Structure 1
Amino acid sequence: MKIALVLDDSIDRPDGVQQYVLTLGAFLSRSGHEVHYLCSTSARSDVTVHSLARNVGVTFNGNGLRIPLPTSRRAIRELLDQERYDVIHVQTPHSPLFAARVVDEARKLQARSVRIVGTFHILPDSRLSELGTHALGRVLARNLRRFDAFMAVSEPAAEFAARTFGISATVVPCPVEVTRFAAEAAARDPEPGEDGRLVVAFLGRLVERKGVLELVHALDALPVELQERLEVRIGGRGPLMGDLEAAIEVSALSRVSLPGFVAEEDKAAYFADADIAVFPATGGESFGIVLVEAMASGAGVVLAGANPGYLSVIGDDPRVSVDARDSNAFAAALRLLIEDSAVREELHAEQAERVQRFDVERVGAQVLEVYGV
């Protein structure tokens, strides 16, 4: 088949939707399909990209996003007429000014001969975000009727899609190259904690909803004798860097490093060296790709914020999920994992088995079913 993966933003950004699109696209290409990426500006030359839009930056749902300016319908029609895709797969919620126009023009040009599907990706981090998504759903109501099928990356995302967009979506999780992460982790040069210290690792954007400051506060609430058993590594960059550095400075933590941005090719080694990988997002998460990556890399145990998207990945075991805003409960969860190696080993075995359900080969087969293959 010839498949168009449509994204309002650029595929060059290292965000979750881009990871979804590129991982799925690579699987589809390996499976013998011809894959094109319809997006805004992109500098990539290793895949077939059609850059059809220009973007402006906005803040929504606790994230810095880019949305497209109005895109030429004529340019879209010319591309669709030339390529004649069998499947057009749109990442939603989507813009009326780009992806929705792709759907409209494809349906006019090919009637029902092209299968149009969507994947719903978000959960709100606030009431304002929910209202904004609901309003967008009303704007897109006619466009949404032109889709043949919808997916959502988690059950909570599917429920939110039904509530705001009025659509029924099949739950198909985000695909992750589990086997690749495991292989890259196994091939690394280990960097364990100095002097036998346990490594507590975080990786994510340094923005409020990712919970990095809550992590520092929880670690600071631990008894000094436990803090001295830890080496803390906080990877990522973002607007909270100054606040993070200040919080570390006034804390009692003695071994904290800030490696900054961790490149894609270094993620597996970074996670594999962690005895406890912590992702304390407080909300706004529809899934948890980073959790899957850490589990796939063999992190000792993954502890996550108890938001609906992360719980869809990690499960409802209270030993591995915590309300990050409750510093005492967060510290208690960390203390259990620090002090009890048997619990860490038990949870590691459970997570090593659980992560297989998100492998791209398994998830890709589910996507192909939605495509009608």
Structure 2
Amino acid sequence: MLMKALADGHQMAMRNTASVRHYVPGGCENGGGIGRLVGYITSTAKEGGADHAVTDTRGPRWSAATSSLRLLGAILTMAKDRIVDPTRIHHIHIAGRGSTSRKLILTEAAHLLGCFHILHLHDYDYASDFAARSPRQQSLIRRMFQRADCVVALGQRDHMILATLLGVDEHRLVIAHNCVPDPGAHNVRAGEPPLIVFLGRLSERKGVPELLLALSHPVMKDLRWRAVLAGDGPVEDYRRKAADMGLSGLVEMPGWLGADETRALCARADILVLPSHAEGLAMAVLEGLSHGLAVVTTRVGAHDEVISDGENGVFVPVGDKDALAAALARLVTDPDIRSHLSARARAHYLSHFSMKAYMRSMEKLYETISAQPQARVSAQ
């Protein structure tokens, strides 16, 4: 009787506004860039009266016991939704490593329950993560992606990986660049030392070691500037490294900042720097564009789909501390270049990365999925 009721539920008429549940490792507060994006999505959706819920699949910090309990809770929540809200769309956010292992279980539950579900890939190098797995795991991962109602990629690179390496049907693949809310026009600060901000986990992958080397570089030594490196990770270790480089009075590391604190920091900043070695599409870059900051980053992931070098941002080679120092020194000393990049960055954000445009595309996607009949419910 239960399985018949579940199957019947998938034949309900399409709703005007889809009911959606997001599955995020760490939730909105402890899920890094994925959590920040989902927080923006759900807040915007609720302002419009849409029903978007969030379920944490991992807990604030990873541990085998906590993660297993969170995952079990997520499956039970999905099963409950399938009974009380059978046409709810389950938007499952996935990355590599442990996230993929958890999502293999969660998506299997979605398939057995006959749930509408989307897989949204957020990863800085999913091809390498996939290649490191056993043939058995690779087969399960391919099946997981191929059985989803839709798979969302952050950019062209991931689209290609999903289509060629994982065999996802092109008709069920979409690209959705990340987005951030509009903070409003940027106020130009005159007469103060330029403020350089970094947003993200303090780590080698994000390029923090070479960023500190660049900030302590001779070309930056006699210039007027300040920097805030905001993010989690081994903050104390990096504070000690900064102190050893003589940067204590110039560089602040406040730890992870919430959305409101990040917005306040960017509102008084001039330059956004993110010298990452690998990314999908960094939320920090979009935060910089939205605030009209001069963005300095690397040509990784989908960044070259977002940034035009010298037009609305500046690219530097990965791991090149000298090039990074030169780019920062030029921006610190030339307000005209900062002003040019600022205006173009802000205009580019408004044209391509606003929450309104993103939510319209997501709502269209949800409606398309809701309109499809489902016949996958299995009692096996």
TM-score normalised per structure 1: 0.78
Contact 1:23 1:176 in 2 (8 A): yes
Query: Which residue does 1:214 correspond to in 2?
Result: 210
Contact 1:213 1:247 in 2 (8 A): no
Task: Find the aligned partners of 1:125 and 1:244 in 2 and give their Cα distance.
Answer: 31
Given that residues 180 and 353 in structure 2 are in contact (C-alpha distance below 8 angstroms), is that contact kept between their aligned partners in structure 1?
A: yes
In the alignment, what sits opposite 2:198? Answer: 202
**What fraction of aligned residue pairs are identical, expressed as a percent?**
20
Residue aligning to 2:295: 302
Shift of 1:361: 0.8
| Equivalent position of 1:87 in the other structure | 89
Partner Cα separation in structure 2 for residue 345 and residue 336 of structure 1? 13
Q: Is the 8 A contact 1:4 1:88 kept in 2?
A: yes
- Name the CA shift for 1:68/1:42 in 2 (closer, same or farther; >3 Å): closer
Q: Does 1:338 align with 2:332?
A: yes
Structure 2 CA distance for aligned equivalents of residues 268 and 133 of structure 1: 42
Deviation of residue 68 (structure 1)?
A: 4.4
1:312 partnered with 2:305:
yes
1:245 aligned to 2:240? yes
1:171 and 2:175 aligned = yes
| Residue equivalent to 2:148 | 147
Match of 2:287 among 282, 285, 293: 293
The answer to whether the Cα contact below 8 Å between 1:80 and 1:106 also exists between their aligned partners in 2 is no
Question: Residue 362 of structure 1: CA displacement?
Answer: 0.3
The equivalent residue for 1:138 is 139
Which position in structure 2 is the counterpart of 1:61?
none
Aligned to 2:55: 38
Cα distance, 1:355 vs structure 2: 1.2
**Offset at residue 352 of structure 1 (A):** 0.7
Stretches of structure 1 that go unaligned for 5 or more consecutive residues are 44-53, 59-65
Asked whether the equivalents of residues 130 and 138 of structure 2 are also in contact (C-alpha less than 8 Å), the reply is no
The change in CA–CA distance for 1:125 and 1:101 in structure 2 (over 3 A counts) is closer
Letter in 2 for 1:10: G
| Alignment counterpart, residue 281 of structure 1, candidates 276, 299, 306 | 276
Aligned partners of 2:145 and 2:151 also within 8 Å: no
| Mapping of residues 20-169 of structure 1, within 5 Å | 20-40=37-57, 56=63, 68=68, 71=72, 76-93=78-95, 99-110=103-114, 115-124=116-125, 127=128, 130-132=131-133, 136-167=137-168, 168=170, 169=173
1:223 alignment partner in structure 2:
219
Partner of residue 350, structure 1: 344
Q: 1:133 to 1:120 in 2, by over 3 A?
A: farther
Q: Partner of 2:378 in structure 1?
A: none
Q: 1:41 to 1:11 in 2, by over 3 A?
A: farther
The structure carrying a bigger strand percent of its residues is 1
Do the aligned partners of 2:195 and 2:226 also contact (CA within 8 Å) in 1? yes
Q: Give the secondary-structure state (helix, strand or coil) at the position aligned to 1:23.
A: helix
Deviations 1:186-217 (A, max 9, x none): 6xxx9x69x73222222321111111221121
Decide whether the 8 Å contact of 1:234 with 1:257 is kept in 2.
yes
Structure scoring higher RCO (CA < 8 A, sep ≥ 6) equals 2
2:260 is the counterpart of 1:265? yes
> Among residues 228, 232, 240, which one is paired with 2:227 in the alignment?
232
TM superposition shift of 1:363? 0.8
Q: Which is worse superposed, 286-295 or 86-95?
A: 86-95
Deviation at 1:135, TM superposition (A): 7.0
CA change 1:109–1:266 in 2 (3 A) is closer
Q: 1:202 & 1:55 partners in 2: Cα distance?
A: 25
Residue identity matched to 1:363: Y
SS in 2 for 1:237: coil
Structure 2 distance, partners of 1:246, 1:109, is 51
Offset of residue 331 of structure 1: 1.8
| In 2: Cα distance, 1:327 partner to 1:102 partner | 42
Identify unmatched segments of 5+ residues in structure 2: 1-17, 369-380
Q: Within 2, Cα distance between the matches of 1:146 and 1:254?
A: 54
Contact 1:219 1:253 in 2 (8 A): no
2:91–2:118 contact (8 Å) kept in structure 1? yes
CA distance in 2, matches of 1:265, 1:214: 28
Map of 1:48 onto structure 2: none
What is the distance in 2 between the residues matched to 1:17 and 1:155?
A: 18
Deviation at 1:157, TM superposition (A): 2.3
The letter of the residue matching 2:315 is S
Q: Report the CA distance between 1:12 and its aligned residue.
A: 3.4
